[in-house]
Amino acid sequence: MKVDIYNIEGGKTGKSIDLPDNIFGIEPNEHAVYLAVKQYNAHQRQGTHKAKERGEIQGSTKKIKRQKGTGTARAGSMKNPLFRGGGRVFGPRPRTYTIKLNKKVKQLAKASALSSKAADGSLIVLEDFSLDAPKTSAFVDVLKKHEADTVKSLMVVNDYDTNLYLSSRNCKKAGVVSADSLNTYSILNANKLFISESAVAKLKEIHS
């Protein structure tokens, strides 16, 4: 699949690039995408939730009333889950929400997401560029040239660029990520996806 390469001014450079069909031109596998997004969301959970159960409540264990003759249910102590301040029955405990996913399934999901973006015209290939200094306005100008300043966008670069990252950090709807850190959720969450020339080569290397 051949696509035009754009510059940061929003115009075509006159050059084109051949996007690998095994990454940008496959039939999207919806189930693989579902599994990858499910894994990503699960890994965002800390799993540190905890509620005290009956045996963990501090307080007296004295029997609060006699066993019979009160007309109400028997009660052993104030730690009883039926009373206010008592322990919780089967409360949440710290756990991990990690989901195992095979490497090939994750690659299939990522390729499916990239192929969907390429098919609906949401993918733009940019020529490699860098910013001289971290400046948010410079980054926003690039988005404005491509009419992406009002929508969620993601810029994929080959290597981590400090100036580019710091320039995008204050933009709520935009982000910058390196090609080796790209994930399915980030691709699908962006309305416009920008990929640098060198990042395309990096993705081809990763999926080879």
Q: For residue range 173-198, what is the model confidence (pLDDT) as tens digits?
A: 999 999 999 999 999 999 999 999 99
Mean pLDDT, rounded, of the chain = 93
pLDDT band for 154, please (50, 70, 90 cuts). Answer: very high
Q: How far apart are CA 25 and CA 111, in angstroms?
A: 8
Q: For the chain, which domains are there?
A: 2-45+100-206 (3.40.1370.10), 47-96 (no CATH)
pTM of the model: 0.83
Strand order of the β-sheet with 12-18 is 12-18, 2-6, 123-126, 192-196, 153-157, 174-178
Angstrom distance (rounded) from CA 45 to CA 32: 21
CA 137, CA 95: separation in Å to the nearest integer?
43
- pLDDT at residue 1 greater than cutoff 90: no
Single-letter code of the amino acid located at 128: D
